[in-house]
Amino acid sequence: MRIYHIPIFVPHKGCPHDCVFCNQKKITGQTDEVTPDTVEKTIDEYLGSISGSGNEERYIEVAFFGGSFTGIEPEQQAALMRVAHRYLLEGKIHAIRCSTRPDYINEEILSMLKEYGMSVIELGVQTTDSEVLKNANRGHSFDDVKRAAELIHSFGISLGLQMMTGLPGDTAEKSVRTAKDIISLRPDCVRIYPTLVMDGTHLMEMYRRGDYVPFTLEETVELCSELLVMFRRENIPVIRIGLQTTDNINADTVIGPYHAAIGELCTGRIVRHAIEKNMDNSALLEVTVHPSMVSAAVGHKGENKRYFAERYNTRLKVVSVAASERNLIRIVDKIVDIYE
């Protein structure tokens, strides 16, 4: 099944907080007011392009992202939701999701969202460490996250949780602790966003003063690959790592651990670690993988091949076998689950 997302970016409106990392205008690339007409026009435009993309089975989802959707006026929430709900009732889309803050969730809000067909609510947890939350000026606590997650579950709405790595005061150990806390809340999906420094944020001011040093890309790949394994072991899908590349988000516009293919880097690192733990001392190391895992085994732009050649003087040969399972690889004479 091909999955399509129709993003409706609701700008910073609705959120009175000023998190140190946040520049919603840059992240979403949008500053205009969102109205019901905007929602209808956006959905129609996307549906028009999707309808011409072939005969494959489709799953189409409208997503209200940016800012804090449940923080805007209830009347505006309802007006925007009514438009999306109409397309849901007509069978033109299959689901509606939104992102918001954990302290902007209550029974009244959830009742309205449920009435208009909200399928998934994603909460910006960012971290569960109280010191890091304070440093980031989040304005909520982990207790707020737990309360909101429990309420969302009670309404039968799927729960997504978003975490960030590398915020001021964060460490790899604190991020691992956050991942464990997130797992305890039984989310249906997770997003991982390494912290990036953007113009127009307090974080940029901290960076320029020397009060903040971002995680390196290498530190981030190591950490996020570990987090991926943790979530995978609990059968929790990680649906995104890193901000999507846009005209405003790219290597020239941000400071920190940005990479256009950071998810691929992380998966490649997981496979590398699995190989490294189970390899022998042969000059030729043959690894058999599922076809979908060939690029991960080879590494982004061949980095795993280079790694084994330079560190172990070993030539890595990757063989594709369709019969194998995606998470299983054969290393020499051993079958290894890369997530174990």
- CB-based contacts of 154, cutoff 8 Å, min separation 6: none
Burial environment of residue 158 by CB neighbours within 10 A (0 to 12, 13 to 18, 19 or more): middle
Distances (CA, A) of 152 to 10, 70, 109, 267, 270: 21, 13, 10, 31, 32
Is pLDDT at 215 greater than 80 in this prediction? yes
Confirm if 140 and 102 have CB atoms less than 8 A apart: yes
334-337 sheet: strands from edge to edge: 315-320, 284-289, 328-331, 334-337
DSSP state of 189: E
Q: Using DSSP bridges, classify how beta strands 284-289 and 315-320 pair: parallel, antiparallel or unpaired.
A: parallel
Query: In one letter, which amino acid is 240?
Result: R
The domain locations on the chain are: 2-260, 280-337
Give which of 237, 146, 222, 152 is closest to 190, Cα–Cα. Answer: 237
How far, in Å, CA of 238 to CA of 165, rounded?
A: 14
pLDDT of amino acid 128:
97
Residue 302 has pLDDT above 70, yes or no: yes
Q: Contact 116/128 with Cβ under 8 angstroms?
A: no
For the beta sheet containing 158-165, the strands, ordered from the edge strand earlier in sequence to the opposite edge, are 2-9, 58-65, 95-100, 120-126, 158-165, 189-194, 238-241
Q: The tokens of 227 are what?
A: 């987090």
Taking the C-alpha atoms of residue 96 and residue 114, their distance in angstroms, rounded to an integer, is 10
**pLDDT digits over 65-109, tens only?**
976 899 889 999 999 999 999 999 999 999 999 999 999 999 999
Rounded Cα gap, residues 20 and 70, in angstroms:
21
pLDDT (tens digit, 9 = 90+) per residue, 191-211?
999 999 999 999 999 999 999
Please give the Cα distance from 225 to 262 (Å, whole number): 10
Please tell me the class of the 2-260 domain.
Answer: alpha beta
pLDDT in tens, 32-66: 689 999 999 999 999 999 876 566 789 999 999 97
What pTM was estimated for this model as a whole? 0.93
pLDDT at 16: 62
State the DSSP code for 6: E
Q: 280-337 has which CATH code? A: 3.30.300
User: How large is the angle between the packed helices 217-233 and 172-184, nearest 10 degrees?
Assistant: 20
